Amino acid sequence: MNTTPFDGRVAVITGGARGLGLSIATALATHGASIALLDRLPGIEAVAEQLATTTGVRVIGVNVDVTNETSVAAAIATVSDRLGTPTLLVNSAGITLDTPALDTSYEAWSRVQNVNVGGTFLMSREFARAAIAAQLPASIVNLSSMSSLVVNIPQTQAAYNTSKAAVSMLTKSLAIEWLPLGIRVNAIAPGYFASDMTRDFVAANPEMNDAWVSRIPAGRMGEPDELGDLVIYLLGDSASYVVGQTFSIDGGYTIV
């Protein structure tokens, strides 16, 4: 009988309604995992139904506010009740802010930190609590960004860059703390990818597309499905010796 690497395992993907999150969820589903798509956007149940139809695995959609402890705890409980204890987590939920620092309100700054860093922490914590209680080994992949490593221009986004650098350090910190508990944590740092949000943005601002692509040695943006294999590797047993790392996948942007 043929099996796939994640048969019998449950994966949670935040920011799963569209874009990179949904693409990663699709990759996990094709490798046999049952999928919980978590997002605050309406219509997540319909997205889950479509993914279940196309992949043949169990998929549920759960609304969640990753900045709210009660909401996050309830979401993990729902996943556990409906699919079983999750042992794979991809923290993909995030927001950006393209505003000069001098014009950035503290409220806006805090919102970015709360979603990108706080949301990653809260979801990881509740996920880890569930896995530890069930005495199951688990893996987490956080989505950082190449913006954690370089100040990519011409946009001004100090709040976003800072939040993603924090995600990379959070990844290292949780990796060391939780490895003895059977939970392995890593991150990926995508560069410019042609996600739904990016396509919408550059359609309205074609000059930004040209500015970005001109700085990418690969000469193009990445496609969302190009993230899948790296996430599959990091979550899987083949990466058991990979701990607390952030892997750039950016067409060479950060090395020139």
pLDDT in tens, 77-89: 999 999 999 999 9
In this predicted model, what pLDDT tens digit does every residue of 4-32 receive, in sequence order? 789 999 999 999 999 999 999 999 999 99
Spans of all domains in the chain: 10-246
Q: How many Å apart are CA 76 and CA 85, to the nearest integer?
A: 8
Amino acid at 196: D
pLDDT of 195 reads 83
pLDDT of 12 reads 98
pLDDT of 3 reads 61
Superfamily of domain 10-246: NAD(P)-binding Rossmann-like Domain (3.40.50.720)
Active site includes 160?
yes
Q: How many Å apart are CA 33 and CA 59, to the nearest integer?
A: 9
pLDDT of 13 reads 98
**Three-state DSSP class for residue 98:** coil
pTM more than 0.85: yes
- For residues 35-69, one letter each, b for 16 or more C-beta atoms within 10 angstroms of the residue's C-beta and e for the rest, the string is bbbbbbeeebeebbeebbeebebbbbbbbbbbbbe
pLDDT of 199 reads 81
pLDDT of 1 reads 41
Looking at 160, 192, 241, 253, which residue is catalytic?
Answer: 160
